[in-house]
């Protein structure tokens, strides 16, 4: 099966002295015309390589580990310890599961106890799932002010997770440094206060664009609105803005939800995965 159809696996990319790793937790199998409600069957026939044998689009969920020497932060923390796949077709989900995050983190040689902070892109369930795990209870939680202000215990984000984060929250803003060479990128649109991250070191650059894009198919179709998007026009503009950045010479993109092709470069209207 193609990497475009499979759930993400452990992958790391070096940017100067930094290592950026995708830490898989699980995946959601989505009905493609639900996730992108203005698309048709014909659109998906033209992009059939993205759909698995059942016709689902694979949306990976996980975390990002960013390391510089001994120092390490996490960016997002997966869906959580739910290894039994569940379906919720009302929300276009044919199968949703998580649970591999901690084991994968340890496979990278990193104990959760040594992570110095957890940055959260936005308050959706598949990004905060492990935030209240005891092994991460020591780590400050970094989030934008508008994202935290809009918090609600709904759609799988529990009051328990919110309470766990409240006591160790630190508000961060566009341009703030997360580690030397790693800074916050404000990416509002998908949610009020969504953030991503940018790594710049030794003339190399990586942009973690959070949920500005959910699938590589959007590189060619940035105008496709996402289901439930609160501000479709602003989100399309943000995708165009990020695409401009990704097209700058040699920039590596990181897409959390991009099946098993999370790291890649944009060439024209295609996503060219890194090994």
Query: What residue ranges bind Zn ion (CB under 5 A)?
Result: 124, 211
Nearer to Zn ion (CB atom), residue 56 or residue 68 = 56
Query: C-beta of 124: minimal distance to Zn ion in Å?
Result: 5
Query: C-beta of 140: minimal distance to Zn ion in Å?
Result: 22
Nearer to Zn ion (CB atom), residue 18 or residue 195 = 195
CB-closest chain residue to Zn ion = 211
Q: Which residues contact 66 (CB under 8 A, 6 or more apart)?
A: 18, 19, 20, 21, 72, 73, 74, 75, 178, 179, 182, 197, 199
Strand (E) or helix (H) holding 162: helix 159-166
Nearer to Zn ion (CB atom), residue 11 or residue 124 = 124
Sheet bearing 195-201, strands edge to edge: 177-179, 182-186, 195-201, 204-208, 252-254, 263-267, 270-273
Question: Six-digit token pair at 190?
Answer: 């998908």
Nearer to Zn ion (CB atom), residue 51 or residue 157 = 157
Task: Annotate 189-231 with DSSP letters as a single string.
Answer: TSSTT-EEEEEEETTEEEEE-GGG-SSTHHHH-TTPPPTT-S-
Question: Six-digit token pair at 21?
Answer: 């790793």
Number of H helices and E strands in the chain, helices first, is: 8, 16
Nearer to Zn ion (CB atom), residue 17 or residue 230 = 230
Q: How many Cα atoms occupy the beta-carbon half-sphere of 32 within 13 Å?
A: 25
Of 60, 73, 50, 51, residue with least CA distance to 25: 60
Query: C-beta of 61: minimal distance to Zn ion in Å?
Result: 7
Query: C-beta of 122: minimal distance to Zn ion in Å?
Result: 7
Paired with 95 in beta bridges are: 29
Query: C-beta of 257: minimal distance to Zn ion in Å?
Result: 6
Query: C-beta of 189: minimal distance to Zn ion in Å?
Result: 13
Strand 117-119, strand 71-77: pairing: parallel
Of 1, 45, 50, residue with least CA distance to 271: 50
Query: C-beta of 30: minimal distance to Zn ion in Å?
Result: 11
Nearer to Zn ion (CB atom), residue 18 or residue 185 = 185
Tokens 């199998």, located at residue? 29
Nearer to Zn ion (CB atom), residue 11 or residue 190 = 190
């Amino acid at each position: 099966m193609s990497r475009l159809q499979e759930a993400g696996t452990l992958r790391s990319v070096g940017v100067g002295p930094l290592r950026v790793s995708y830490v898989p937790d699980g995946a959601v199998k989505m009905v493609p015309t639900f996730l992108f409600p203005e698309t048709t069957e014909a659109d998906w026939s033209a992009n059939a390589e993205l759909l698995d044998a059942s016709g689902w689009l694979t949306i990976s969920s996980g975390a990002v580990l960013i390391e510089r020497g001994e120092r390490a932060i996490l960016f997002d923390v997966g869906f959580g310890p739910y290894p039994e796949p569940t379906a919720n077709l009302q929300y276009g989900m044919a199968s949703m599961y998580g649970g591999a995050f901690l084991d994968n983190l340890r496979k990278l040689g990193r104990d959760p106890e040594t992570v110095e902070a957890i940055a959260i892109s936005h308050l959706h369930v598949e990004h905060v799932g492990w935030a209240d795990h005891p092994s991460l209870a020591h780590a400050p939680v970094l989030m934008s002010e508008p994202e935290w202000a809009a918090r609600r215990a709904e759609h799988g984000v529990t009051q328990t997770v919110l309470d766990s984060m409240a006591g160790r929250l630190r508000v961060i803003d566009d341009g703030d440094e997360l580690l030397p060479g790693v800074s916050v990128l404000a990416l509002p649109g998908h949610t009020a206060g969504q953030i991503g991250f940018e790594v710049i070191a030794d003339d190399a650059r990586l942009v973690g664009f959070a949920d500005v894009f959910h699938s590589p198919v959007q590189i060619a179709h940035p105008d496709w609105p996402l289901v439930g998007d609160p501000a479709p026009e602003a989100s399309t503009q943000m995708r165009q803005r990020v695409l401009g950045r990704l097209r700058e010479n040699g920039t590596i993109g990181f897409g959390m939800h991009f099946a098993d092709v999370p790291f890649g470069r944009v060439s024209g209207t295609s996503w060219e995965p890194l090994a």
